[in-house]
Structure formats: C-alpha cells, structure tokens
C-alpha cells in the first residue's frame, strides 16, 4: 500500500452521498435519497442510484440537477418561523396556494422546513439548510418533544380525555401522545395541550377524529426548548447552530446532554373534579361538518347564512344616518 493510499485509509473521510447532499444545504436527507433514486445526482460525471454510495468531499465532484455542489460555499441558516394558518409547508405548491417560502423570500439562501404543519395548522416551524440538524430534529431516537395547543369543538369529559391519553392503533400503527391535558374551557369549545415524542403524519388530527373529536384550531407552540412566544404570526427569528443545539438539549452528535423541555404557564384543568362542562359533548356528530376536508366550505356557508339573517332584521328608518341635531 502506498503512502498516499495509507493516508486516505487513515483519514476515512467518506460519507454517504445523501448525507453529503443534505450537509451542503441542497435539500433534506430524505429528499436527497429521492433525488438519487430518480437519477438526478452525478458522482464524478456518472449517474448514481445506489443509496449506499459514499463520497470523499475533498476529492469527489457531486452534481445535483446539473449544479455542482460545494460545502464550503454554503452559509448555514437556522430560522424559527411562526407559520400562520393558510400556508402550505412546502417551497412550491401546484395548486398555487401561499407557501412558507413566501414568508422568507428575503433570504438569498435556499432553506427547507423541518417536518410539516398542514394547511390549517399554525405555529412553530424550524427552517434550515443544514440537513444533519433537520434529520436530528425529525428522528425519534433523539427524543425531541413537540408541544401543541389544540382547540376542539364541544366539551371534553374525563372519560374522553383518558381515551385520548391512552392512544389507539391506527392503520397498524399505535398512536399515543406523551401527555394530554385540558388547559382552557370555553362555552362551546375546549383547549387541550398535546406533547408528542415523534409527531407522525397528522397524528393529533387522526387521534382526535378516531374518537369523534373534531379540531377547530391546531398550533405548535414548542419543539423541546424552542418556542414561539414573542414571535408574531408570519414572522421569524434567527438562531446560531450553537443556540439551536442548546435549546434542543443535544450535542453535535444528537446525544441528549440537558433537559430543555418547554414549560407552559397555563394550568391544567381537572375535568374529573370539576365534572362535565355544560354544553355539547366533543364527540357529537354535529361537529363532523368541521372536519379538515370540509372546514372552509362549512365556515363559508355559516358566514353567508349569518349575513343573510342580519340583513333580514328590520331596521329603524334613519338608523344609519348621522343626526343633524347638535348636542345641547
């Protein structure tokens, strides 16, 4: 073995191709895997479709969609966004809806959302071009806790709360939150706080709907020690990588080094001691019209109906006219 070969063997600099693409800020690691399988990645001039392929960043040339990538030319960005309702968590939407990209289009760097919040959901969304950090946040092995405040239609009883806390098997997958508690009761709705360890696709909505409970509003308020308090909807703040890791309570390798869980100031309401809140039960079938698929249609119909009722109310002549009489 030559001295040069021996040197390279000791360095052992090779890393997986998809990780390298993510580290360069091109896209997330999972999306990079899709690019490779689709034949969109060239390694030293040849198309590579094997996910196990390894590269040496100092020697190999990687091209994605015709563009050579250089890890040294990428400025890593770590952004915490308060996503408003009515925005899609993607950079491009075929239906022409507003996307989170519209909220950060002042940035020269191309950054990507970590995880998702659906169209009707709002709240904390981390965006970055650091694929390793993105994977760390999303992977369940790193025990990153996510906190949501969820407003549901109707009254949540003690028995119903216990069912939601216990979880249920959905499509062969057991779904169970870390905790669920009642934090506020309204005349016709109830606020719940959910804490999740993994955050599967539409986990909270699927869990609630399996018990006949329909969500009116869903907001992610925290990811571990990172929260949206003080960040207005549609606005964002920037963090350094060091700050982000500190608030997540992990080191550069994703190992847990401290407990940075978000502590809410909202007190729990003991529905067992307080008893059933007056009003319609949260699992009443009347609330089914507010399911995600028909939510906006239902809201529009109810709004038009209310406007028609108001228009039909007789008004006093001149009620909207300003008086010509001066006050004496």
| CATH number of residue 239's parent domain | 3.30.2350.10
Number of domains in the chain: 2
Does residue 256 sit within a domain? no
pLDDT for the residue numbered 1: 43
Does residue 258 sit within a domain? no
Gap between the Cα atoms of 124 and 103, Å rounded: 13
Where among 73, 94, 119 does a domain terminate?
Answer: 73
Give the distance from CA 173 to its chain's centroid.
20
Please give the structure tokens belonging to residue 323.
């008086």
Q: Are 190 and 182 in contact (CB under 8 A)?
A: yes
Q: First and final CA of the chain: distance in angstroms?
A: 107
Same-domain check for residues 97 and 224: yes
- Number of H helices and number of E strands within the chain? 9, 17
**What residues make up the domain containing 243?**
78-248
Same-domain check for residues 82 and 14: no
- Fill in the DSSP letter of residue 88: B
Q: Catalytic residues, which ones?
A: 118
pLDDT for the residue numbered 246: 94
Residues of the chain with pLDDT under 50: 1-12, 322-328
Same-domain check for residues 57 and 124: no
pLDDT for the residue numbered 8: 38
User: Which residue reads 């694929």 in tokens?
Assistant: 131
Three-state SS letters, 141-182: HHCCCEEEEEEEECECCHHHHHHHHHCEEECCEEECCCEEEE
Q: Can you state the angle between helices 241-248 and 131-138, rounded to 10 degrees?
A: 10
Give the global pTM: 0.77
Gap between the Cα atoms of 275 and 312, Å rounded: 40
Same-domain check for residues 49 and 148: no
Q: Is 11 helix (H, G, I), strand (E, B) or coil?
A: helix
């Amino acid at each position: 073995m030559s001295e040069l070969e021996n040197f390279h063997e000791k360095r052992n600099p090779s890393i997986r191709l998809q990780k390298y693409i993510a580290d360069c800020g091109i896209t997330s690691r999972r999306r990079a895997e899709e690019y490779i399988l689709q034949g969109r990645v060239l390694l030293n001039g040849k198309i590579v479709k094997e996910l196990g392929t390894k590269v040496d960043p100092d020697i190999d040339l990687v091209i994605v969609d015709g563009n050579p990538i250089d890890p040294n030319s990428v400025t890593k960005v770590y952004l915490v966004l308060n996503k408003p309702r009515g925005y899609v968590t993607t950079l491009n939407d075929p239906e022409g809806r507003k996307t989170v990209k519209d909220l950060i289009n002042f940035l020269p760097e191309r950054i990507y959302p970590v995880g998702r919040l659906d169209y009707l959901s709002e709240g904390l969304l981390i965006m970055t071009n650091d694929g390793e950090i993105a994977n760390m946040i999303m992977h369940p092995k790193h025990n990153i806790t996510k906190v949501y405040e969820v407003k549901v239609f109707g009254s949540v009883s003690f028995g119903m709360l216990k069912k939601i806390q216990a979880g249920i098997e959905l499509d062969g997958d057991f779904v169970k939150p870390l905790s669920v508690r009642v934090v506020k009761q309204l005349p016709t709705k109830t606020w719940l706080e959910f804490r999740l360890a993994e955050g599967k696709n539409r986990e909270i909505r699927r869990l609630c709907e399996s018990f006949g409970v329909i969500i009116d509003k869903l907001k992610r308020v925290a990811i571990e020690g990172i929260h949206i308090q003080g960040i207005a909807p549609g606005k964002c703040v920037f963090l350094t990588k060091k700050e982000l890791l500190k608030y997540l309570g992990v080191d550069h390798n994703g190992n847990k080094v401290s407990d940075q869980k978000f502590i809410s100031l909202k007190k729990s309401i003991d529905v067992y001691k307080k008893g059933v809140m007056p009003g319609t039960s949260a699992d009443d079938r009347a609330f089914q019209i507010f399911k995600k698929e028909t939510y906006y249609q239902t809201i529009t119909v109810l709004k038009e109906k209310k406007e028609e009722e108001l228009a039909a109310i007789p008004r006093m002549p001149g009620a909207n006219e300003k008086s010509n009489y001066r006050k004496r």
